[in-house]
Amino acid sequence: MAKTVKITTDNRISIVDIPWTAEAKEKEICADCVETVKTQIMYNLFHDTVVMIVDESGIINGLPLNLAGSYLYGTQYHGAPIVGDILFGLQRGPEILPPENPEEIMHLLMIKIPELQEEMR
């Protein structure tokens, strides 16, 4: 099991504990297939290679906009949104690992994106 940060399309942020497998990540965000996304915005915020794990076919499936994910992706500059729920990981070489400190990631996100509301589990 691994802890990571999850942000839903209704701006709820939480730390979830899931098996760190492709299947578990897909199940957690209700995706058929996931892809990882990293941006300069995220590097500037976290000062590390934090990535978003997103639904690769979310737009085709008509999923709702993820405001936080879209901001971190840079939608405000290029117009392409992130849809569906998202998770966060840490890129180390070719591997995507669980975040070393999900609490710190969550804290930074809540400061940067005040619309986020902590979801108690």
Would residue 33 count as lying in a domain?
yes
Encode pLDDT of 32-87 as tens digits.
899 999 999 999 999 999 999 999 999 999 999 999 999 999 999 999 999 999 99
pLDDT in tens, 104-119: 999 999 999 999 999 8
Please give the C-alpha separations between residue 3 and each of 29, 69, 79, 117, in angstroms, as whole numbers. 14, 19, 31, 18
Alpha-carbon distance of 68 to 83, in angstroms, equals 10
Domain limits at 81?
Answer: 2-99
Q: Is residue 117 part of a domain?
A: no
| Residue 110 placed within a domain | no
Q: Is residue 109, in this structure, part of any structural domain at all?
A: no
Total structural domains within the chain: 1
* 83 assigned to some structural domain: yes
Q: pLDDT of 10-46, one tens digit each?
A: 999 999 999 999 999 999 999 989 999 999 999 999 9
Residue pointed to by tokens 């997103």: 54
Cα separation, 63 vs 113, in Å, equals: 21
Q: Compute φ and ψ for 23, nearest 5 degrees.
A: -65, -45
State the number of CA atoms in the 13 A half-sphere of 53 facing the CB.
Answer: 28
Judge whether 10 lies within some domain: yes
